[in-house]
Amino acid sequence: MGTPTSPIDASRNRSPRVHDEVAAAGAVTVDGVELVSERLVLRPASESDLNFYFEMRNSPEILARADQEPKPRSLVERQLQGWIERWQEHGFGTWTIFDQDSDERLGRVELDPMGAGWAGISPGETEVGLIVHPAHWNQGIATEAAGLVASDCFTRAGVNHLVALTTSDNKASLRTLEKLGMRHRGQTQHESDPTTYEVYELARPAPRP
Ligand SMILES: CC(C)(COP(=O)(O)OP(=O)(O)OC[C@H]1O[C@@H](n2cnc3c(N)ncnc32)[C@H](O)[C@@H]1OP(=O)(O)O)[C@@H](O)C(=O)NCCC(=O)NCCS
């Protein structure tokens, strides 16, 4: 959440840099890292995901949560481009979640460096953001996908801890962060936005002796 937009929508454009590290988990793809569990495959977001993101972002359940007007396709396309470019700058970014068997798209997980202006949060702390298509809520998908991403960023990308921001009325999000083992760190507001967010944190596990 670099900017005080909805937690669902945080994203910015970044300049490209080639990423060529070898993954500790999953296979390296041209634009990033593919992560695999028994049920899910997480692939770096690509232009081919546009229809899915457009449809999901404008689904009634997400509109109700985001408390926003429908988003035009051109805006979703720009947002997707920013997610793709983030990979090249940071070596992490946005993954689209797929069902391993059917190859159906289910949602997305993203990692994004926080911007400036957040009380008690240093710029550059890595935020994890989650969204699952309403057709697939409450099947454990967000928890499983975020667990894969956390494990990858702690091992491969050298991230020390993750933060997540949500509002106190978002019970599904709060429960998901709790299931992920995240600790409540406090509250924050952006200097330009009166909304109060709950801040959760997950530290990189200590190495086993
Ligand atoms: C938050 C979100 C990503 C969770 O995705 P998901 O795949 O359904 O998550 P999971 O199935 O892994 O876990 C959801 C948990 O919340 C619980 N839950 C759902 N609605 C709830 C409610 N109203 N009150 C309390 N718990 C609730 C579920 O029962 C489940 O917990 P359980 O496994 O103990 O039963 C999804 O609801 C979503 O996309 N919401 C809109 C976007 C959003 O708010 N993102 C979070 C911003 S950080």
Average pLDDT in the chain: 86
Report d(CA 150, CA 203) in Å as an integer. 9
Helix (H) or strand (E) holding 83, with range, is helix 73-90
How does pLDDT run across 149-162, given as a tens digit for each residue?
Answer: 999 999 888 899 99
128 Cα–ligand 1 center, Å: 15
105 Cα–ligand 1 center, Å: 17
Closest residue by Cα to atom 21, ligand 1, is 172
Closest residue by Cα to atom 27, ligand 1, is 172
- Residue 97 is assigned to a structural domain of this protein: yes
- Residue 6 is assigned to a structural domain of this protein: no
- Residue 105 is assigned to a structural domain of this protein: yes
CA-closest candidate to residue 10, choices 100, 98, 91, 117? 117
- For the domain that residue 43 is a member of, what is the CATH number? 3.40.630.30
Tell me 136's DSSP state: G
188 Cα–ligand 1 center, Å: 21
- Residue 89: what pLDDT? 85
- Residue 39 is assigned to a structural domain of this protein: yes
SS3 content of the chain, % helix, strand, coil (to 5): 30, 25, 45
- Say whether 141 sits in a helix, a strand or coil: helix
Q: Which residues line ligand 1 (CB under 6 A)?
A: 7-8, 62, 65, 129-132, 137-143, 164, 166, 170-173, 175-176
Q: Are 111 and 153 a contacting pair, CB within 8 Å?
A: yes
Lowest mean pLDDT across 13-27, 93-107, 121-135, 190-204: 13-27
Residues of the domain holding 120: 27-160
- Residue 209: what pLDDT? 73
- Residue 195 is assigned to a structural domain of this protein: no
- Ligand 1 atom with least separation from CA of 176: 13
Report d(CA 174, CA 14) in Å as an integer. 30
* Contacts of the segment 170-173: beta carbons below 8 A, 24+ positions apart: 170/65, 172/137, 172/138, 173/7, 173/130
157 Cα–ligand 1 center, Å: 27
Residue 196: pLDDT over 80: yes
Residue 21: pLDDT over 50: no
204 Cα–ligand 1 center, Å: 23
Mean pLDDT of 47-56: 97
CA-closest candidate to residue 52, choices 129, 105, 110, 130? 105
- Residue 146 is assigned to a structural domain of this protein: yes
Report d(CA 143, CA 139) in Å as an integer. 9
User: How many structural domains comprise the chain?
Assistant: 1
- Residue 55 is assigned to a structural domain of this protein: yes
Read off the pLDDT band of 14 (50, 70, 90). Answer: very low
Residue 28: pLDDT over 60: no
- Residue 90: what pLDDT? 85
- Residue 4: what pLDDT? 47
- Residue 33 is assigned to a structural domain of this protein: yes
Output the six-digit token pair for 195.
Answer: 């909304």
